[in-house]
Each structure stands twice: as structure tokens, then as C-alpha cells.
Amino acid sequence: GDSVTQMEGPVTLSEEAFLTINCTYTATGYPSLFWYVQYPGEGLQLLLKATKADDKGSNKGFEATYRKETTSFHLEKGSVQVSDSAVYFCALRIRGYQKVTFGTGTKLQVIP
């Protein structure tokens, strides 16, 4: 079946540090890949997406590149802020299907 594996958290960083959250996947078909962010007490917001190999999704300083050869979609940001503290979910969706498969989420805590 389809699955998404994320690095376990929590990840604690100082403000302006470099962030990487690893994500790898297995898919039964051709997936689109997503990163969602969840702030405390809220639902999920789409952060960025990539729909085909070698695509780079980016938003709010976050980036992730769809690597088919390594089945990865690692999330990066060059300089994190306290306001980036949240839980980040990597997810995939197979083309032609509605269902989204989520990773377990990685909690990021940024300290001043």
C-alpha cells in the first residue's frame, strides 16, 4: 500500500537556524506530494506541493523537491522563525484517487 514516513520529532531549533524535515514515501501509483502545517488547535493548511518528479514546491520560505529516485520530499527552510512552530505533515495522493495518505507529523519548536 501507500505510506509516508517522516522523521520523528520534536525538532527544537533556535531562531534563524536551518530546518530539514525528512520525508520518504512508497506509492502504488504516481503520487502528488504535499506538506501541510498544523498550528496548535487548528486544522491543516497546505504549505506546498509538487505534482511530478523534480518539481520544487515553495511557500513562505519553505521548499521541498520531489525526488523520484530516492522517493523523498524533504522539507527545508533556510532561517526559521518562532512563528514557524507547528506540526508539519508530509502527505501523498495517487493520481486519479481522492484519498490522501499522511505521515505521522513532525513537531517543530523554534526558540528565540
Partner 1 sequence: GAVVSQHPSRVICKSGTSVKIECRSLDFQATTMFWYRQFPKQSLMLMATSNEGSKATYEQGVEKDKFLINHASLTLSTLTVTSAHPEDSSFYICSASVVRGNQPQHFGDGTRLSIL
The answer to the question of residue 12 lying near partner 1 (CB under 8 A) is no
Should residue 95 be labelled a site residue for partner 1 when binding is judged by CB under 8 A? Answer: yes
Burial (CB count <10 Å: 0-12, 13-18, 19+), residue 5: middle
- In terms of CB distance, is 9 or 17 closer to partner 1? 9
Is residue 89 within 8 A of residue 9, CB to CB? The reply is: no
Task: Measure the CA–CA gap between 26 and 31, rounded to whole angstroms.
Answer: 9
Nearest of 51, 78, 49 to residue 64 by alpha carbon: 49
The stretch among 21-29, 35-43, 59-67, 69-77 that binds partner 1 (CB under 8 A) is: 35-43
The pairing of strands 44-50 and 31-38 is antiparallel
Q: Does 40 bind partner 1 (CB under 8 A)?
A: no
- Looking from the CA of 90 toward its CB, the CA atoms found within 13 Å total 30
Tell me if 1 contacts partner 1 by CB under 8 A: no
Q: Kindly determine how many residues on this chain lie close enough to bind partner 1 according to the rule CB under 8 A.
A: 22
Stretch of residues binding partner 1 (CB under 8 A), selected from 19-27, 66-74, 75-83, 90-98 = 90-98
Residues at the contact surface with partner 1, assessed by CB under 8 A: 32, 34, 36, 41-46, 49, 51, 89, 93, 95, 98-100, 102-105, 107
